[in-house]
Chains A and B, each alone.
Chain A
Amino acid sequence: MPYPFVYTMQKKKILLGDEAVAQGAIDAGISGSYAYPGTPSTEINEYVRSTEKGKIHCAWSPNEKVAYEEALGHSWAGKRALIAMKHVGLNVAADPFMSSAIAGINGGMVLAVADDPGMHSSQNEQDSRCYADFAKVPCFEPTDQQEAYDFTREAFDLSEKNNIPVMVRLVTRLSHTRTIVAVGAKRKQNSLRPARDNKRWTVLPAYARRMFKEHLAKYDSLQKFSEKRSSLSLRGKRLGVIASGIAYNYLMENAPKDISVLKINFYPLPMKSIEKLAKHVKKLIVIEEGYPFIERQLNRFKIHGKLDGTLPLTGELTPDIVRKAIGMKAHPGRKASSLLKIRPPRLCVGCPHASTYDVINGVKKRFPKLRSFGDIGCYTLGALPPYNAIDTCIDMGASIGMAKGAVDAGVRPVIAVIGDSTFTHSGMTSLLKAAKENTDMTVFILDNDTTAMTGGQETLANDQRLVDIVKGLGVDERHIRVIDPVPTRLKENIAIVQKEIPYKGLSVIIPVRACVTMVKKR
């Protein structure tokens, strides 16, 4: 189909980029939406849940790997499925992602991944296009919210037609900008038609070798489609710009005169258009959000971009950065104020995590050598003043494994601090191992009855269920202590924890109290 699409029964809606992806998937006829929350991708599944609950399976998954596998099973059964996650989520789901790419799909399957250049709310700025290339999975990169809708819709057709999962790559500014989007009529959901070809779904080496070859050929053949989804405008010969995704907006915002532009929205790259542009112009710049991903693939041309310092290698692009890179003068403006002070986020007033950190700091007075391994969630703010109660935070679920590793190396006393959702995401297996070895450490699992950091999604295990899981993993019942993290019980809680620290084995402390902000919302 030529782009832009025209829909029958077109309607206008105000949508965030994330919501446009969700609406595109809904209108493409998905029957399953699978996700684990993570900024800036959370609103994708939130939207499906708020508009289609009951019609589309859309409960939160415990982590991204499970979400991916659930979606894959859904696709195997012949139905269309959407998977949504933030960029680092794909590290967790990388295993099924890499292998399912080779095996292919049955019902259309689209993976929406939201990158976070500039690290507005993430621990790194990895570029998901590298994963798409790694797995040789085709990837759309929308420029705006309308394209987010259009391309997600189209991605499902492309996925089914070519028997391959398809990625839609988003970035924070695209995900979290709201605008008016034209949407079309809903396509019917697929009927149940489970896959029959067992060999294709079983990546035993003998089968996988052949399939991998076919997979690579299929990927390369998509270059033709890529030419259609990019647009080349040949004008002046002085400067040519290759701009992908939202980088194109920053270029056009500056209304550069008389330059030639290639707008890229799909990978594998449209090599023919790139060659045409390269032949036409004297100087070539690549502008892309994230890693120098396109740039590195074009090293046979003389290219300017992130690698030669024309654009910064880290952080987020802005219209101003792009303006400078194409040689235009900055707009006249005003000088920034010298009075500014940063205003970091902090735990809400009355947050149960604050009380837990008061307990930990109270215990530290008695055990000044205590080291504490943290994890990701609202409670990561315990790393900052006034608490300074956490020594590490690396990735979801790292606290328990790292704490155990440190104990194995001889550090004492050691605690780990992990949230309830993070625990079910990827802490349980580490605790299983620690329980098996009865590792000499104390693990805090903070049960605030929600996934607070990302806006309060329901969690999979709280209260008694959480205690039962901990028991089931093999932790000695006598050393599972449930406490109520409120300021009025500070002394009593410190006393309980102080008893567990010297115990030469594994203890688990579960502070149970609901997140005050979610209670207000409900």
Chain B
Amino acid sequence: MKCDIILAGVGGQGILTLSYAIVNACLDEGYNVLQSEIHGMSQRGGAVYAHLRISDKKIYSDMIPKGRADIILGTEPLEALRHLDHLTPEGKIITSSVPVKNIIYPDEAKVLDELRRHGALLLDSTDLARKAGSIKAQNIVMLGAVSRFLPLKTLKMYIKKLFSKKGKEIVKINLLAFDLGLITKCWEI
């Protein structure tokens, strides 16, 4: 088993929180895992990404080679598109369809079209997060959405752990966000 995932989004969208849950679940469930993240500037709004590699064998490179990623998980559509050249011919794209327009944005319809042409599963993470109770839970919606392709069973336990300090209500919202991401048929937006 190997699953190479590229997480892509905009600074402040909670990509590292999302991968925290995956990495911990991997340790629990006996998989090897590498998560390489680019952080540096604490200012908001720049492009961010992380490479996450899960395998039952030894993993060498922290970076996923071009053409070898099984999944691109985007919290923003243009950012998901940015890593296209890393995807295998059979690879999947799962991304939020909600653009963050803090730059002179390319034609939004064209971005979504190109994603669809590559078979991307798109979902309205803002809407689902709002339904779960907080717009901040968009990253967990996306985690739920991608979880259908992951071999991991303990993700929800780590969501509980992650948010337990912030109170029961926040835990509930995030668990619901996860489920909404998981059950929504992504291609029907």
Please give the residue numbers on chain A whose beta carbons come within 8 Å of chain B beta carbons, in ascending order.
Answer: 12, 14, 39-40, 120-121, 172-174, 176-180, 246, 248-250, 252-254, 318-320, 323, 330-337, 339-349, 351, 378, 381, 452-456, 517
Contacts and interface: CB of A to CB of B under 8 A. Distances in A.
Interface in B37-70: 37-47, 60-68
Interface in B102-146: 102-107, 110-111, 114, 118
A50 to B, nearest CB: 15
B42 A452 contact: yes
For chain B, which range describes its interface: under 10, 10 to 19, 20 to 34, or 35 or more residues?
A: 35 or more
A455 B107 CA distance: 34
B27 A180 contact: yes
Nearest to B35: A178
Given A323-B65, A333-B88, A341 B78 contact: yes
Contacts of A335: 84-85
Nearest to B32: A180
A378 B102 CA distance: 18
Given A173-B63, A180-B32, A345-B44, A340 B85 contact: no
Contacts of A348: 43-45
B34 A177 contact: yes
Max chain B CB contacts within 10 Å: which of A173, A343, A346, A347? A343
Q: What 6 pairs between A and B have smallest CB-CB spacing?
A: A333-B67, A121-B40, A345-B46, A331-B67, A253-B61, A319-B65
Nearest to B108: A339
B89 interface: yes
B33 interface: yes
Contacts of B45: 343, 345-346, 348
Contact of B42 (A319, A334, A343, A456): A456
Contact of B47 (A172, A342, A349, A381): A342
Interface of B: 10-11, 23-24, 26-27, 32-47, 60-68, 78-79, 81-82, 84-89, 102-107, 110-111, 114, 118
B43 A381 contact: yes
A478 B32 CA distance: 63
Given A341-B103, A341-B104, A341-B106, A176 B81 contact: no
Given A246-B62, A334-B84, A334-B87, A343 B46 contact: yes
B10 A343 contact: yes
A127 to B, nearest CB: 19
B40 A253 contact: no
A256 to B, nearest CB: 12
A319 B39 CA distance: 20
B40 A120 contact: yes
A72 to B, nearest CB: 29
A344 B79 CA distance: 12
14 contacts: A14-B23, A121-B40, A173-B62, A253-B61, A320-B66, A333-B67, A334-B87, A334-B118, A341-B78, A343-B78, A346-B44, A381-B43, A454-B42, A455-B42
A456 B84 CA distance: 34
Nearest to A174: B62
B34 A178 contact: yes
A116 to B, nearest CB: 9
